[in-house]
């Protein structure tokens, strides 16, 4: 079976994206999805995304982790599929679509895609870390000398011992300036560090504000794959009007045989 695919990346977080409006792609074929994402024997990606039709919205986003299993919300993946929908002429400069965690709005220009994330209300602050869900579960922990930190080893240990089989994404953070932070993320499903994580930097920005590590509701996050911006509004019950903004682009397209 020949499958037309497109490769997109958002600050180094890369995805195989497929136009599945005809619903021909075998969603339950975990082995196929895993093979397509494999960097040695496949296309190579942190995840696979299907774009499908929606009865009332512009489209539906289905996200799969690199291991082939259905995943939770992916912020950079969401920004990339918005750019893909523009490429397909489904949308122009704005859109509303559905993902696993509900409806999302987004706007786009030539350089950036700004994606509205879900409201956040349940934040657990512990002595050494913060836990919150921004569409995916995230552990946020401040560390020293982030550049030389063993993210894969330490991230895997926390992911398994603290959060069990379901796991969580583990974010390690270091302050650069007052409202600027460097972030490195170990992602479940990929089971390795990725160059960037959209829901991760969103979680980091909110966690740092919640714990008074920053006083700004506009936070700049530096990942290994590039720069992302997160802004939000604080309310009595949590955080709303949460936006993740950054670049997203098509890298190449091909046919899987």
**Which residues does the annotation mark as catalytic?**
74, 197
Residue identified by tokens 């579960």 is 137
CA angle 112, 115, 117 (to 5 degrees): 155
Q: Is 127 exposed, middle or buried (0-12, 13-18, 19+ CB in 10 A)?
A: exposed
Residue identified by tokens 């829901």 is 199
**DSSP structural state of residue 151:** H
| Lookup: tokens for 80 | 């990339």
Cα(157)–Cα(168) distance, integer angstroms: 11
| Lookup: tokens for 128 | 């050494």
């Amino acid at each position: 079976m020949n499958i037309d695919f497109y490769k997109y990346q958002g600050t180094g977080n890369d995805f195989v994206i497929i136009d599945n409006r005809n619903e021909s792609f075998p969603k339950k074929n975990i082995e196929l999805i895993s093979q397509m994402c494999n960097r040695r024997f496949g296309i190579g990606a942190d995840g696979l995304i299907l774009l499908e039709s929606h009865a009332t919205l512009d489209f539906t986003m289905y996200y799969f982790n690199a291991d082939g299993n259905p995943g939770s919300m992916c912020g950079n993946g969401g920004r990339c599929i918005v750019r893909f929908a523009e490429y397909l002429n489904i949308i122009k400069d704005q859109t509303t679509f559905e993902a696993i965690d509900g409806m999302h709005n987004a706007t786009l220009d030539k350089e950036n895609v700004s994606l509205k994330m879900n409201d956040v209300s349940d934040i657990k602050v512990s002595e050494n870390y913060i836990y919150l869900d921004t569409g995916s579960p995230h552990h946020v922990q401040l560390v020293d000398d982030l550049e030389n930190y063993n993210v894969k080893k330490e991230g895997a240990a926390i992911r398994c011992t603290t959060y069990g089989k379901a796991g969580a994404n583990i974010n390690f953070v270091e302050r650069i300036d007052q409202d600027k932070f460097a972030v490195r993320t170990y992602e479940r499903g990929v089971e390795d560090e990725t160059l960037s994580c959209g829901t991760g930097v969103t979680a980091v920005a909110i966690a740092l504000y919640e714990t008074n590590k920053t006083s700004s509701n506009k936070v700049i996050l530096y990942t290994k794959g590039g720069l992302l911006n997160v802004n939000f509004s604080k309310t009595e019950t949590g955080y709303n009007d949460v936006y993740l903004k950054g670049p997203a682009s098509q890298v190449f397209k091909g046919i899987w045989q």
